[in-house]
Amino acid sequence: EDLFSFQKRERSEGSADNHALVFNYVNTSNVIDEELNLKTILSIGRHWKGSVTDATLNKYALPDYTHINLDVFFTIKKLKHLRPELLITSKIANGNIPNNPNLYFNKVDMFHLDLILNYNF
């Protein structure tokens, strides 16, 4: 929930003794004679998890990591209902991870890019 720490594409379920510090920066600007508005959200978070070998504290064996998101929302005045979005996210492992691909594959040391076409009726 935003009250404590939230980042898009982030889940903390299955974690006990989970700590996070998140920085969010929001910027809105008009581009090209006010026909195109951009809203950017930069989010940087440092997440401390329980040990990857302790299933009671870390059910999904997710190591400590730094999570970076850049979210760009486009508002095009001529296309009232269309709101394209570009989401770039990366998770970088922190600390020592045992030499086991199951502990980092599709969890950390990854880069993800989404182009989302939102259409509001």
Domain that holds residue 109: 19-119
In a domain, 57, yes or no: yes
The two most distant CA atoms of the chain are separated, in Å, by 56
**pLDDT tens-digit series, residues 6-48:** 677 777 777 888 888 889 999 988 776 678 889 999 999 999 9
User: Above 70 in pLDDT, residue 102?
Assistant: yes
Tell me the pTM: 0.83
CA dihedral 44, 49, 55, 60 (to 10 degrees): 10
In a domain, 3, yes or no: no
In a domain, 97, yes or no: yes
Range 75-97 average pLDDT: 91
In a domain, 73, yes or no: yes
In a domain, 89, yes or no: yes
Confidence of residue 84 (pLDDT cuts 50, 70, 90): very high
pLDDT exceeding 90 applies to what percent of the chain? 40
Domain count, the chain: 1
Q: 117-121 contacts: CB < 8 A, separation 24 or more?
A: 117/82, 117/84, 117/85, 118/82, 118/83, 118/84, 118/85, 119/81, 119/82, 119/83, 120/81, 120/83, 121/81
In a domain, 42, yes or no: yes
